[in-house]
């Protein structure tokens, strides 16, 4: 027993050393002659998301990233395009895989950025990364703190129920902090909202279980996401078990902690409340839970996460043809937050259902499946 414990501690120390020395390597700060040409804040940077405005943000940074060992992908020159591309495939990164049924389904040649703060990089190791502006002039330090915590704590980063897409590197340019993340193949929103005819209901429910597991995990760390919609989850590939048997399942990763909040362990649970919207009112285009429409805001962000996920689920999996499944999502959107189940309770209900249901009963198409693939 003593030998096993020593080995375990040695391994933990080894991983901790990797985290300190390389996993969170941060460059800079670097002084530049072009910083004054870059946006002064999040909002301005995010808004410049198309065409020449986007290119004028990132092209001046090409030489800067080159010195750091990374090459920016090229920009599609089409008017209004948000597409980046690269002409060669990368080396494996352990996060994105080709599907057995769709060998060409790994979209490694193009990347669609969702706002002006995102771009794509090819590293000197021939692996691809998404680069995102995490902080400008100190605004965003909360995001960095949460990402560091979820990406580096030992042994949590080694746990299978931690679905964080890790922050693998920080690069500092004066008052700007860029974060690098592994590039994945697909967005969960595509897999669930536009299910392929070869994706079974069982495939989709296993994805949902991982989504719930991801939320349960961050809640156990006293962190609430406040933007739990399907587009903030990535998957390694789109499962297609109706077309070809696969012994593996794609892993789901949670991203985008821009609106996340955290509470200290010594804070009383009934005082873990928020009094602001997840995003500024004039920028907040998400569906709003009832508590976000109150004149005086004071709400539980953990219950908000449940409502947001419930909204995504009722939009996409409300009618599966299986009454027990269809009945799970409605309670997540109850008007009174206190009447909503916790993410843990929903996960337990879904796990119990999956355990008792023969796989053949779920080996069928979702009613809304399409022939988009």
Q: Which domains does the chain have, with CATH numbers?
A: 23-182 (no CATH), 186-361 (1.10.510.10)
Q: What is the pLDDT of residue 206?
A: 95
Q: What is the pLDDT of residue 298?
A: 95
Where would I find the beta strands (DSSP E) of the chain? Answer: 26-27, 70-72, 74-75, 83-85, 110-112, 118-123, 128-136, 169-173, 176-182, 186-187, 223-224, 233-235, 252-254, 261-262
Average pLDDT for runs of 10 along the chain of length 373: 39 43 50 77 85 88 96 82 84 75 55 88 95 92 93 86 95 95 86 78 94 98 97 90 81 96 94 95 92 93 98 87 92 98 98 96 76 36
Q: Which of 279, 5, 239 is nearest to 99 (CA)?
A: 239
Residue 323: exposed, middle, or buried by beta-carbon count in 10 A (0-12, 13-18, 19+)?
exposed
Q: What is the pLDDT of residue 22?
A: 42
Q: How many helices (H) and strands (E) does the chain have?
A: 10, 14
Q: Which of 265, 293, 287, 361 is nearest to 322 (CA)?
A: 361
Q: Which of 107, 74, 118, 265 is nearest to 190 (CA)?
A: 107
Q: What is the pLDDT of residue 100?
A: 55
- d(Cα 216, Cα 243) in Å, to the nearest integer? 32
What's the predicted TM-score (pTM) here?
A: 0.87
Q: Which of 188, 281, 180, 186 is nearest to 228 (CA)?
A: 188
Range list of H helices, the chain: 2-18, 42-47, 51-58, 62-67, 141-152, 188-193, 201-220, 301-316, 323-326, 343-356
Q: What is the pLDDT of residue 305?
A: 99
């Amino acid at each position: 027993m003593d030998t096993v414990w020593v080995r375990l501690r040695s391994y933990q120390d080894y991983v901790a050393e990797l985290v300190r020395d390389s996993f969170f390597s941060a460059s800079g700060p670097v002084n530049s002659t072009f910083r004054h040409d870059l946006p002064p804040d999040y909002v301005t940077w995010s808004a410049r998301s198309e065409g020449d405005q986007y290119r004028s943000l990132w092209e001046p940074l090409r030489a800067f990233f080159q010195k750091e060992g990374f090459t920016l992908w090229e920009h599609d020159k089409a008017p209004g395009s948000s597409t980046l591309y690269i002409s060669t495939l990368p080396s494996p990164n352990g996060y994105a895989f080709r599907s057995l049924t769709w060998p060409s389904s790994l979209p490694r040649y193009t990347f669609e950025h969702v706002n002006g703060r995102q771009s794509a990089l090819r590293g000197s190791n021939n692996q691809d990364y998404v680069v995102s502006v995490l902080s400008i002039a100190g605004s965003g330090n909360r995001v960095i703190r949460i990402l560091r915590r979820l990406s580096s704590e030992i042994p949590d980063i080694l746990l299978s129920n931690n679905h964080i897409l890790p922050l693998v590197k920080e690069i500092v340019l004066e008052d700007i902090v860029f974060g690098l993340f592994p590039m994945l193949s697909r967005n969960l929103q595509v897999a669930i909202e536009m299910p392929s005819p070869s994706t079974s209901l069982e495939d989709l429910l296993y994805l949902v279980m991982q989504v719930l597991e991801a939320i349960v995990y961050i809640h156990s760390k006293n962190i609430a996401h406040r933007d739990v919609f399907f587009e903030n989850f990535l998957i390694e590939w789109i499962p297609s078990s109706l077309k070809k048997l696969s012994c593996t399942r794609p892993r789901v990763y949670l991203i985008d902690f821009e609106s996340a909040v955290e509470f200290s362990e010594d804070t009383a649970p009934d005082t873990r409340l928020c009094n602001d919207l997840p995003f500024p009112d004039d920028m907040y285009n998400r569906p709003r839970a009832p508590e976000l429409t109150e004149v005086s805001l004071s709400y539980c962000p953990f219950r908000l996460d449940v409502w947001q996920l419930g909204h995504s689920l009722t939009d996409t999996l409300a009618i599966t043809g299986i009454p027990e499944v269809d009945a799970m999502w409605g309670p997540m959107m109850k008007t009174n937050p206190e009447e909503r189940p916790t993410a843990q309770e929903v996960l337990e209900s879904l796990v119990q259902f999956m355990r008792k249901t023969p796989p053949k009963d779920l080996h069928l198409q979702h009613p809304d499946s399409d022939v988009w693939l």
